[in-house]
Chains A and B, each alone.
Chain A
Amino acid sequence: MSQAERKIPAPPVNIEIQPYFDAASQGRLLVKRCTACGEFHHYPRAICPFCGKDATEWREASGKGTIYSYSVMRRVPAPYALAYVTLEEGVTMMTNIVDCDLDAIRIGQAVRVVFKPTEGGPPVPMFTPA
């Protein structure tokens, strides 16, 4: 935690996913849901990966979830925790666990979303113990 801060690369935003990062800039986490089959999915797509219909819409997520898996990357100047977090909405997303003791992270732990600035791009959602 006291080590050098890891620089967070900016995500390469494109027109299909612009709303996700616009919302992130406002501190809101969006997920996509298909109005045809009702399934949530992540990462967000215009075409539903479950039913193939182009009937997906943005929904605001609660921002609450649990850690599905994680790994603390040690052999770098600033160790960091890569993780998958399963959101209340049911989808699991790749992220980082931040603002905590990296050695205390556990699978199943409850977490909540926080937004962290990137190098010259929109902020990205990360998670911290709830």
Chain B
Amino acid sequence: MTIKGKAYIAGIFEHPTRKADDKSLAQLHAESARGALEDAGLTRKDVDGYFCAGDAPGLGALSMADYMGLKLRHMDTTETGGSSYVIHVAHAAEAIAASKCDVALITLAGRPRAEGMATGTAPRNYGVTTPDVPFEMSYGPVVVNQYAMAAMRHMHQYGTTGAQLAWIKVAASHHAQHNPHAMLRDVVTVQDVLDSPMISDPLHRLDCCVISDGGGAIVVVKPEIARSLSRPKVRVLGAGEAPKHQMGGKVDITYTGAVWSGPAAFAEAGVTPADIKYVSIYDSFTITVLITLEDLGFCAKGQGGKFVSDGNLISGTGKLPFNTDGGGLCNNHPANRGGLTKVVEAVRQLRGEAHPNVQVKNCNVALAHGTGGSLGSRHGSATVIMERE
């Protein structure tokens, strides 16, 4: 069975808040859900499948179905960190293809800013029963220094430079200047990135994504329903997912699970990297983008630094426009989980609804990729390829 053409993304919503002092977590989920359903031209009553991950409160799908008053016949709470929502799109398509639901709702929300959460420089507590914790937590592995180790090794092995990484931030900032909701709208230069404070060698402050409150939602529907709606039609062509870990101690942090999720998605979609007009690439850090682009086959392994340089990711001038909303690096990283907004901007591009200054011409095929967890230890990779019908 394939999901190719079996499901459509009918509704998207990115919550405009970036600091939600006045809203609860469940409220942010529900507001996002309402936004995506309104975008699709559907209502809460049409939803019969619901997808959420570890950011949802309480018992996840149960708590949120209760809060939103949903009557469901399918639930999926797959949790792979920030990549969860890209997987949810694929799983929603699978569930629709198997007639387990007709209208699947995916939500994400979080308020790390309002809660004053130490995000990138404090350890994440995965609990004492997590098998790796006794062998890692004492050493102070936080988010940023684990990604930094991946960057350090990539530099050592392939000669990647800090200036090359900085180009990724530069491109994101060129896009964010057109997004009124973006947290960071100032265009920056390579030198600005290199001059920003060193957080964890070799990653500077401007190599890191923003910390933001917010949320988002996606509505995936069966073809018959998509055809009854008035929105532009974006169908799911293919998807792939994979965990990448330490492989029993044969550690190699120069590549990601995209080496598996990417080929699976391309094979199912029946397209190649050359067919992709726009990419949303998870950008927790600049290094995340560089390694992922290599692993998805947009350039040869080790050539990512050269590929991203000189504005090659800037819409309108570069060969591969990426994260035209400003991405996690400049726009939004709700709940410290950027996978959902990656899909949202890809759908905007396919619909022709991105900001006119960053809209990719004839954008008929797009790819969204999520990375959840850490490049430096273990993460979930998820790729989805979509097409405008």
**Residues of A near any B CB (own CB < 8 A):** 6, 8-14, 17, 21, 39-45, 49-50, 68-76, 80, 82-84, 86, 90-96, 107-108, 118, 124, 126
C-alpha gap A93/B246 in the complex (Å): 9
Which of A82, A90, A93, A107 has the most C-beta atoms of chain B within 10 angstroms of its own C-beta?
A82
B138 touches A124 (CB 8 A): yes
Which residue on chain B has the smallest CB distance to residue A72?
B201
Chain B residues near A124 (CB, 8 Å)?
138-139
A75 touches B199 (CB 8 A): yes
**Which 5 pairs across A and B sit closest by C-beta, in order of nearness?**
A91-B249, A71-B148, A12-B128, A42-B249, A92-B251
Question: B131 at interface (Cβ–Cβ under 8 A)?
Answer: yes
- Say which residue of B121, B137, B153, B253 sits within 8 Å of A73 (CB atoms): B121
C-alpha gap A74/B131 in the complex (Å): 28
B150 touches A69 (CB 8 A): yes
Question: B163 at interface (Cβ–Cβ under 8 A)?
Answer: no
Contact size range, B: 35 or more
Minimum Cβ distance to chain A for residue B153 (Å): 4
A69 touches B135 (CB 8 A): no
Question: B377 at interface (Cβ–Cβ under 8 A)?
Answer: yes
C-alpha gap A82/B140 in the complex (Å): 7
Chain B residues near A21 (CB, 8 Å)?
134
**With A73-B121, A82-B149, A84-B253 in contact, do A49 and B248 touch (Cβ < 8 Å)?**
yes
Minimum Cβ distance to chain B for residue A3 (Å): 14
Question: B133 at interface (Cβ–Cβ under 8 A)?
Answer: yes
Chain A residues near B145 (CB, 8 Å)?
71, 73, 82
Which residue on chain A has the smallest CB distance to residue B139?
A96
Chain A residues near B250 (CB, 8 Å)?
90-92
Chain A residues near B133 (CB, 8 Å)?
11-12
Which residue on chain B has the smallest CB distance to residue A31?
B249
Chain A residues near B128 (CB, 8 Å)?
12, 14
**With A91-B249, A107-B156 in contact, do A83 and B149 touch (Cβ < 8 Å)?**
yes
18 contacts between A and B (CB under 8 A): A6-B140, A8-B138, A10-B138, A11-B134, A12-B133, A39-B248, A70-B152, A71-B149, A71-B152, A73-B121, A75-B197, A75-B199, A76-B121, A80-B140, A82-B145, A92-B246, A118-B138, A124-B138
**With A68-B251, A91-B250, A93-B249 in contact, do A107 and B138 touch (Cβ < 8 Å)?**
no
A94 touches B139 (CB 8 A): yes
Question: B136 at interface (Cβ–Cβ under 8 A)?
Answer: yes
**With A13-B134, A14-B134 in contact, do A41 and B249 touch (Cβ < 8 Å)?**
yes
Minimum Cβ distance to chain B for residue A73 (Å): 5
C-alpha gap A90/B249 in the complex (Å): 8
B248 touches A11 (CB 8 A): no
C-alpha gap A49/B149 in the complex (Å): 24
B153 touches A107 (CB 8 A): yes
B142 touches A73 (CB 8 A): yes
Chain B residues near A92 (CB, 8 Å)?
246, 249-251
C-alpha gap A6/B198 in the complex (Å): 19
C-alpha gap A120/B249 in the complex (Å): 27
B152 touches A69 (CB 8 A): yes
1/0 contact trace for B191-229 toward A, CB 8 Å?
000000111111100000000000000000000000000
- Say which residue of A70, A71, A94 sits within 8 Å of B136 (CB atoms): A94
Minimum Cβ distance to chain A for residue B116 (Å): 17
